[in-house]
Amino acid sequence: MNLFDLTGTVSVVIGGNGVLGGAMSEALAGAGSKVAVVGRDMEKAEAVRLRIAEAGGEAATFAADATREEDLREVLRRVLEWGGRVDTVVHCAGMNSPTPFFELKMEEWDRIMDVNLKSAVVTAQIFGKHLIDQGEGGSIVNISSVSSDPPLSKVFTYSASKAGINSITKFLAREFAPHNVRVNAIIPGFFPAEQNRKILSPERVQSIMGHTPMGRFGNPEELQGAIVYLASAKASSFVTGTTLRVDGGFGAMTI
């Protein structure tokens, strides 16, 4: 179990106020890391912090719009005041929309790309630079999607943004490797959350179940082992540039 001991580390979870981000924040805290829960909705972020505290962990909340460089620089400054260092950065800010392609407005395209992809780039620039300058290595984990490759129907912009996540993950893994900063992505399958419930019609649920060998949705807690593994400098010390699927077999299904 020492492989997965994060005691003495500090983790920053961008989008930690969400369903999946909250579950991953709790997992990191449960493994011993101090967790900075970052998001726009402070009420939800505070609920995550309280769950961590009730379980005996340590966390703090930080308000930020992840698309704004100045917000994330301020979060880094405040996290360093609070925790003294940063070891793991998880980017799971995201949004979705079922708008049909020919009805898509560029304002919506820009907003989804900003939240899903631009914010991941800004996060990597600010926190990745700090990890490199800190000189002790570290881990960046991006949250991708099964829609990244091949793209799913009805979520054109979301799929494009998540394909971009896969690409920048590999690019940054190569660039940061000489500094012992690992960059990986988790590809969740279908975990019903606020951002995707709007596209989960009964017909679409039936289609998803038919394409998921395990025949069910994932539970947020089922991402916890993956995030602790990728955060651990012991357990995943030679793992970088990979996309780890937690999808019930969705990516293995053909006919």
Residues 6+ apart with CB under 8 A from 239: 182, 184, 230
Structure tokens of 115?
Answer: 């939240």
Res 201 pLDDT > 90: no
% of the chain with per-residue pLDDT over 90: 85
Catalytic residue among 158, 190, 191, 229: 158
Q: Establish whether 229 is a catalytic residue.
A: no
pLDDT tens across 41-91, in order?
999 999 999 999 999 999 999 999 999 999 999 999 999 999 999 999 999
Q: Which amino acid is at 225?
A: G
Res 199 pLDDT > 70: no
pLDDT tens across 209-235, in order?
888 999 999 999 999 999 999 999 999
* 47/43 Cα distance (integer angstroms): 6
- Per-residue pLDDT, averaged over 193-211, amounts to 74
- Per-residue pLDDT, averaged over 85-109, amounts to 94
Sign of the CA dihedral running 100, 103, 106, 108: negative
Instruction: Quote the pTM value.
Output: 0.94
Per CATH, is 2-245 categorized as 3.20.20.70?
A: no
Strand 34-39 relative to strand 243-246, pairing: unpaired
What's residue 152's pLDDT? 83
Read off the pLDDT band of 151 (50, 70, 90): confident
